[in-house]
Amino acid sequence: MAKRLDDCPAQNCSAGAGRQSELRPPYYAEIPEASREKIEARTKNGVFDVPILRCTYCGCVYGKFPVRRHIFGWLDNSVTGEKWSDSREL
């Protein structure tokens, strides 16, 4: 199934735009500092801040770059039960 731009970018998640929300500070604080530093290196480029979103269905955390989404990891993934896991691209 082809994904639309506002759907969850995770390959094995079919959640649509309605399940995507801004990553709120309390959630962001749960991500380990080492991973947050990597995320910030990608999203704060000095010109504009890239919005960070989270899929409320699978926990996928990603940056909404102008041309594509970039997956940083998963927070509170109810499938794996893990608090946080880095994506391979982080």
Instruction: Decide: is 75 part of the binding site for Zn ion (CB under 5 A).
Output: no
Instruction: Decide: is 13 part of the binding site for Zn ion (CB under 5 A).
Output: yes
**The 3-state secondary structure of 11-79, one letter per residue:** CCCCCCHHHEEECCHHHHCCCCHHHHHHHHHHHECCCCECCEEEECCCCEEEEECCCCEEEEEEECCCC
**From the list 27, 28, 57, 84, which residue makes contact with Zn ion (rule: CB under 5 A)?**
57
Instruction: Decide: is 58 part of the binding site for Zn ion (CB under 5 A).
Output: yes
Letters for 26-55 (x = contact with Zn ion by CB under 5 A, - = none) are -----------------------------x
Contact 30, 74 (CB under 8 A): no
Residues contributing to the site for Zn ion (CB under 5 A): 8, 10, 13, 15, 55, 57-58, 60
